[in-house]
Structure 1
């Protein structure tokens, strides 16, 4: 499934700073490198499990918003 990057970025911009940063890191939108859960957890000083849980929540939200628009 191809996503419209502009639409996706508008949705991501509505997230709070931490959530937006996590999503961008995970999907390579900051430095064109897809970061692992371990890397994200280290950067944000949280457990890998917490990073996974948060990213799943964020991804569900972004996808539901994308489908609405």
Structure 2
């Protein structure tokens, strides 16, 4: 990827998703760091710590994100 080469190098995966208003997206459980941003509108996201060996196992983070 030639756009922002210093930023994108080292990422395992780069995705662009377009989702219609009111849609519900599925669960994701990949063991990798993720950068999530919103280009238009807003989204609600929830994260759950599923690492059984973690002191924060089961903890939930909820947030709305917008540009």
Q: Same fold (TM over 0.5)?
A: no
Question: What TM-score do the two structures reach when normalised by structure 1?
Answer: 0.22
Structure 1 or 2, whichever has the larger Rg, is 2
Question: What TM-score do the two structures reach when normalised by structure 2?
Answer: 0.22
Higher fraction of helix: 1
Higher fraction of strand: 2
